[in-house]
Amino acid sequence: MKTFARSLVLVGLLIAAVGSFAVAADKPAVAPPNYDESKIPAYTLPDLLVMQDGTKVTDAETWRTKRRPEVLKLFETYMYGRTVAGRSEKMTFEVLESADDALGGKAIRKQVRVKFTGKDDGPGMDLLIYAPKSAASKPAPAFVMLNFQGNHTTTTDPAVRLGMTYDRRTGKAAQADEKTRGAAKSRWPFEMIVERGYAVATAYYGDIDPDFNDFSNGIHPLYYKPGQTHPAPDEWGAIGAWAWGLSRALDCLQSDKLIDGKKVAVVGHSRLGKTSLWAGAQDERFAIVISNDSGCGGAALSRRVIGESVHRINTSFPHWFCDNFKKYNANEGELPLDQHMLVALAAPRPVYVASAEQDKWADPKGEYLSAYHAGVVYRLLGKPALESPDMPAVNQPVMTTVGYHIRTGKHDVTDFDWQRYMDFADKHLGKP
């Protein structure tokens, strides 16, 4: 009997050992980041102008009706996840506050609550809008960009409301207080923007979905099927949710008389730059698509595996992409897509990719190459694109229908970036 018990224990131990080995094998450690160009694996990018069944795409019509939907579907299925909902018919916009003497008398300010399902206590976001005074008689073109820490952090304007914010590490909600007012203002040169005739709108990304690996909050649960508690492997993650929020912001701006709804550019920084590219890909009402330092999962080519890798990003931020994307951890070469295809989904609209010299984590060269390789689609659609496979020098923007710059400095949004975005909008939408 004793021997039998002992062998049972041994078998148990053996099973446990095999089990833990299987778990370990299942989750191999993330390789340390590579920063050496000579160590980039050999790769071939998927051809934008070849359908999955091998058919060549040689005209604009085939791009528009066949290949573009196919590429969009690839990103939905394997990367960002399908956006499971559109605009609710019950959505409402409530003006919470407005003033025509904001920013020292230069701007009109508006704070609008976008109630996603029309409910007062339901999910929604607060959109902060500054428009030039001239917008009262002539609707202004606009930039829309989500912020990371709450609307009150984008300016020292004391009238900007304090909302709820969510801790990125714990997911804990807290009421914002005066201490952080203006904390991110260097990224939001509102006066400079309205002085050039543009309106600018922002909302806190946490209003749409708190940036935390938890799918019980934000907008996801609104759209679950009965019994569902987590998005399916091909359904939207957090980036998909934020992109959806940008489209709801656009709905609001298009209903506002101060804004020229056909001239709204979507902008985003970093994880929100990944988001602006995805929002612009799905929602063709955005007139211009701009990503600032968006890196891995944004403009940077995944196959270069330099700086942040697919494995790294999926491990640090398991909630950003759909679960199917995890199949490509340390396996980028098998992806049926790469990020030049995301940039190309903006076509034929103007698209701008920006990098920062010290932002190696985001792989500036990979960001440039995506913009460059998207060019085949722009040319097919009769638009000029980036001509050189080599990056321009720092602080030397290139502006065709595809625009690009790498500026000096670190991962950030600076006045230089904003000035270039306005130059680009002047060029493509006409000076306001």
Name the site residues for ligand GCU (rule: CB under 6 A).
270-271, 295-296, 308, 313, 316, 361
In the chain the first and final C-alpha atoms are separated, in Å, by 90
Three-state secondary structure of 203-248: CEHHHHCCCCCCCCCCCHHHHCCCCCCCCCCCECCHHHHHHHHHHH
Q: Compute the least distance from the CB of residue 296 to ligand GCU, in Å.
A: 5
Q: Compute the least distance from the CB of residue 100 to ligand GCU, in Å.
A: 35
Q: Compute the least distance from the CB of residue 410 to ligand GCU, in Å.
A: 11
Is 411 an annotated catalytic residue? yes
- Give the rounded distance of the alpha carbon of 383 from its chain centre: 24
Q: Compute the least distance from the CB of residue 317 to ligand GCU, in Å.
A: 7
Q: Which is nearer to ligand GCU, 194 or 203 (CB)?
A: 203
Q: Which is nearer to ligand GCU, 155 or 294 (CB)?
A: 294
Q: Compute the least distance from the CB of residue 37 to ligand GCU, in Å.
A: 20
Tell me how far CA of residue 380 lies from CA of 17, 139, 344, in angstroms.
57, 33, 11
Q: Which is nearer to ligand GCU, 60 or 183 (CB)?
A: 183
Is 230 an annotated catalytic residue? no
Place of tokens 């904003």: 418
At 336, the amino acid letter reads: P
Q: Which is nearer to ligand GCU, 165 or 270 (CB)?
A: 270
Q: Which is nearer to ligand GCU, 308 or 338 (CB)?
A: 308
Catalytic residue among 270, 302, 309, 355: 270
Measured CA to CA, the distance from residue 159 to residue 190 in angstroms comes to 14
Catalytic residue among 134, 230, 411, 428: 411
HSE (side-chain half, CA atoms, 13 Å) at 424: 32
Dihedral angle computed from the Cα positions of residues 79, 80, 82 and 83, in that order, rounded to the nearest 10 degrees: -170
What are the residue numbers of the active site?
270, 411
